[in-house]
Chains A and B, each alone.
Chain A
Amino acid sequence: MTRIGVVTFPGSLDDRDAARAVRLAGGEPVRLWHRDTDLAGVEAIILPGGFSYGDYLRTGAIARFSPVMGSVISAAGRGVPVLGICNGFQILCESHLLPGALTRNNHLHFICRDQRLRIESSRTVWTAGYQPGAEIVIPVKNGEGRYVADRDTLARLDGDGLVVARYLHGNPNGSVADIAGITNPAGNVVGLMPHPEHAVEALTGPGTDGLGFFTSVLRRLVPA
């Protein structure tokens, strides 16, 4: 069974949900600790949501220098799939695995609601199972989810098809160009502000629209 690592930092919240989503998708979740440098041979890595290190200094800023991140950064460079959700996305930006930054919501409120998104790219290992242009509903919950980047970076994200998902029917945090998620040019590193791991079964979420992120990577890792 394909093993997918889920990192727990001090202050991570959604690590159990992410591990559960991996299991529901048919993979074997492997719990990794922020002090680990050995990634236990996992074939993909998820950085979950939460408030790592209490969001001190900046969201993700201290987690970025935790021992595990040195290994995650080099694995990402080798093409290992990495998905950062919410705080994980913030950590990926602080690590410069993804460009830009996530800043305080323009209205200053923490927002938590079901959010409609459009999948803009199916070329990443995490979204290959979605049709381009597919609309999905998954929860969004953040206080600092406003994506910003300079004009050149935005032009490159748009021109190279690196925007993975955009907010529909209302931008929850003031993100530039309604950006909810982006990828690196190789398509193995994806950062997403909303939470697919909270939409993997009807009982506990708005639906199962989030499951595709986890089944996509599993399908990629196990050649048919």
Chain B
Amino acid sequence: MPRVVVDVMLKPEILDPQGQAVQRALERLGFDRVTSVRQGKRFEIEIAEPGAADAGPAGSGAAVELGRDMAAKLLANTVIEDFTVRIEDAAGGAG
């Protein structure tokens, strides 16, 4: 069963006050070499294997397309966010 992983990040030009707050906390903890923190979202989406009745193309290419469609419609607001889509196998490794 393919797992689609969608990472959503604020666009570089959009201020990320949460990331800045995390950065300041890291600095207080002594991580003095941190120069920037940006906070984003990660979605792990399990996709059903296409059944025998499904005529559409199977495999990771189709799953990536599905992930892109989901990201563009709902998971990301492309006015302020960018997203990347990739496939992991069920064991969690990159596929």
A residues adjacent to B (C-beta < 8 A): 57-58, 61, 65, 93-94, 99-101, 103-108, 146, 148-150, 174
User: Interface on chain A toward B: helix, strand, loop, or mixed SS?
Assistant: loop
Asked, given contacts A104-B18, A108-B21, whether A57 binds B80 with beta carbons under 8 Å apart, the answer is no
CB contacts (< 8 Å) of B55 on chain A: these are: none
Contact present for B17 and A94 (CB under 8 Å): no
Contact present for A148 and B74 (CB under 8 Å): no
Contact present for A174 and B15 (CB under 8 Å): yes
Distance in angstroms from A171 CB to nearest chain B CB is 13
Other-chain contact of A101, B15, B17, B18, B79 (Cβ < 8 Å): B79
CB contacts (< 8 Å) of B37 on chain A: these are: none
Asked, given contacts A57-B74, A65-B74, whether A103 binds B14 with beta carbons under 8 Å apart, the answer is yes
CB contacts (< 8 Å) of A57 on chain B: these are: 74-75
Contact present for B79 and A100 (CB under 8 Å): yes
User: Interface on chain B toward A: helix, strand, loop, or mixed SS?
Assistant: mixed
Distance in angstroms from B17 CB to nearest chain A CB is 5
B residues adjacent to A (C-beta < 8 A): 10, 14-15, 17-18, 21, 74-75, 77, 79-80
Contact present for A101 and B80 (CB under 8 Å): yes
Nearest A residue (CB) for B78: A101
CB contacts (< 8 Å) of A99 on chain B: these are: 79
Distance in angstroms from A195 CB to nearest chain B CB is 23
Contact present for A108 and B77 (CB under 8 Å): no
Contact present for B17 and A105 (CB under 8 Å): yes
Contact present for A107 and B17 (CB under 8 Å): yes
Task: State in angstroms the CA–CA spacing of A148 and B74 once bound together.
Answer: 19
Other-chain contact of A148, B14, B17, B18, B21 (Cβ < 8 Å): B14
Other-chain contact of A104, B17, B74, B77 (Cβ < 8 Å): B17
Contact present for A61 and B77 (CB under 8 Å): yes
CB contacts (< 8 Å) of A93 on chain B: these are: 79
Contact present for B77 and A94 (CB under 8 Å): yes
